[in-house]
Amino acid sequence: MADFFRIYEENPNPKEIEKVVAILKRGGIIIYPTDTVYGLGCDITNIKALERIAKIKGIKLEKANFSFICHDLSNLSDYVKQIDTSIFKILKRALPGPYTFILPGSKSLPNPFKKRKTVGIRVPENNIALEIVKLLGNPIISTSIHDDDEVIEYTTDPELILEKWENLVDLVIDGGYGDNEASTVIDLSEDEPIILREGKGSLEIF
């Protein structure tokens, strides 16, 4: 049975953030709010937790397209090859914000992702997610919570998320109603930016 507690996005309670990080450090899986849809995540350094999420999603971990939720761009070089100034300027303009940027992966990616040539990076404009990764000290992974409804693609109500996921995850964070529009996904790993998915993030950053 998953834990369920409220954290306020405007001013996250440090004690609640500490509880979340303790769960992550134990290898727990959480559902948490972002600036777009609710995400399913765990500590990127915990292989067993990563494998649990891959199993839930019905995919092999090595083939999973998980994004990394980062606190800011300061430790980008831990996961991404050196990028040129023009790309860095795009990142600085857009983040934090509702974007996922596909960037060339470095050799120091966590073991399950070592063979990947690219990595998806997110810095969401959501204080709950940012405070979690800041205190944890490294990114958590992000994969969206989808709804079974044919019309509504994403579940936005935390209590409904709990009903569906309480036996699969260790914690559902109630950060208020989520959005029903995913992040804009932009591939910056090649010479020219490629829009892979147009979502909540405006394309006026270019």
Over residues 98-118, the pLDDT tens digits come to 999 999 999 888 888 888 899
Q: What local confidence, expressed as pLDDT, does residue 152 receive?
A: 57
Nearest to 98 by CA among 12, 202, 194: 202
Provide the token pair at 150.
Answer: 């044919």
Q: Which two tokens stand for residue 23?
A: 């769960």
**Residues 17-35: what's their mean pLDDT?**
98
The predicted structure's pLDDT at residue 114: 86
CA-CA distance, 145 to 168, in Å (whole number)?
12
Of how many residues is the chain composed?
206
Query: Could you tell me if 103 and 80 are in contact, meaning their C-beta atoms sit under 8 angstroms apart?
Result: yes
Read off the pLDDT of residues 130-187 as tens digits, 9 standing for 90 and up: 999 999 999 999 998 876 655 556 778 999 999 999 999 999 999 999 988 999 999 9
Centre a 10 Å sphere on the Cβ of residue 174 and count the other Cβ atoms it contains: 18
Q: Are residues 128 and 7 in contact, defined by beta-carbon separation less than 8 angstroms?
A: yes
Residue 4, pLDDT score: 97
The answer to whether the beta carbons of residues 79 and 166 sit under 8 Å apart is no
CA dist., res. 205 & res. 203, Å (int): 5
3-state secondary structure of 127: helix
User: Average per-residue pLDDT in the chain?
Assistant: 93
Using a 10 angstrom Cβ sphere, with 0-12 exposed, 13-18 middle and 19 or more buried, the burial of residue 141 is: buried
What domains are there in the chain, each with its CATH number?
3-205 (3.90.870.10)
**Alpha carbons within 13 A on the beta-carbon side of 8:** 3
Tell the residue number behind the tokens 């999420």, with chain if given.
Answer: 53
- Helix ranges, the chain (H): 14-25, 47-57, 85-94, 127-136, 158-165
